[in-house]
Amino acid sequence: MTARHEQVADDLRRLIVAGTFAIGDRLPPETRLAVQYGVSTPTLREALEVLRAEGLIAKYQGRGNFVRRPSERLTYPGPPKAERVTVSSTDATATGVLAVRLGLPEGAPLTAYVCLSHRDDSRQSLTHVYVPRTAAPLTVASPWGDDLVTAAAGVPVATSNDQVTARFPTTAEAQSLRIGTRTPVLAIERTFTTADGRHVAYALLVLPGDRAEVVLITRLDTDQEAQQ
């Protein structure tokens, strides 16, 4: 049986798609919607959270819930759709996961870069890049961190091993991307290696799940398949 908050979300979604609530419209107050659907306020808020996670509405403190314009979708890996990327850097040390990913001893000096991409009035992606301590901070960067890694590593990068996880953002990630903490994100962990297998950089990309997709290309060995 479908949960009550999902039923409410389904009906509100139908009204938005049908244009009953147009882009930019404010939804009725939550208390009024709760009475209209015969549910408690917490149940109504669960339904609204579903729609916010889907990118259909946005909540503004003190103003209410508004139907939002659909965000342009991001495709990773693909041409970054960002008007600008801001980059900051700080000193860090290799501990825990970072030490393992980079194959460095605990406490090894690193440079940490934070890349935040913007398009129009929205924030598109958040990328943390970690490399062994560089002589001087770098400012060039694509939203995915590729050119920054190439410049910081100082050696040709042969491969990027990417691991994708769907999860909720941390509080800091949600604040940086200006999304709710219950809006799913795609977290992409990238480990960059040289041709001889040496790890030279690690990056964590965080993309809002309501506007991002990951495209995987698998090359099949057709000759081997034909022999089987």
pLDDT along the chain (228 residues), means of 10: 89 92 93 95 92 82 85 78 84 92 92 88 88 74 82 81 94 90 89 89 91 80 57
The pLDDT of residue 188 = 95
CA–CA separation, 205 and 117 (whole Å) = 11
The pLDDT of residue 36 = 95
Enumerate domains of the chain plus CATH numbers. Answer: 4-67 (1.10.10.10), 74-214 (3.40.1410.10)
The alpha-helical segments, DSSP class H, found in 69-117 are 97-102
The pLDDT of residue 43 = 95
Q: Backbone dihedral region of 178: left (phi > 0), alpha (psi from -120 to 50 degrees) or beta?
A: left
CA–CA separation, 227 and 225 (whole Å) = 5
Q: Strands 199-208 and 185-193: what pairing? A: antiparallel
Contact by Cβ (8 Å): 76, 162:
no
In the structure encoding, which two tokens stand for residue 7, read together?
């039923």
In the structure encoding, which two tokens stand for residue 200, read together?
């030279």
The pLDDT of residue 225 = 52
Contact by Cβ (8 Å): 35, 172:
no
Give bridge partners of residue 161 from the DSSP assignment: 191
The pLDDT of residue 169 = 94
The Cα-based distances of 9 to 97, 106, 130 in angstroms read 39, 48, 41
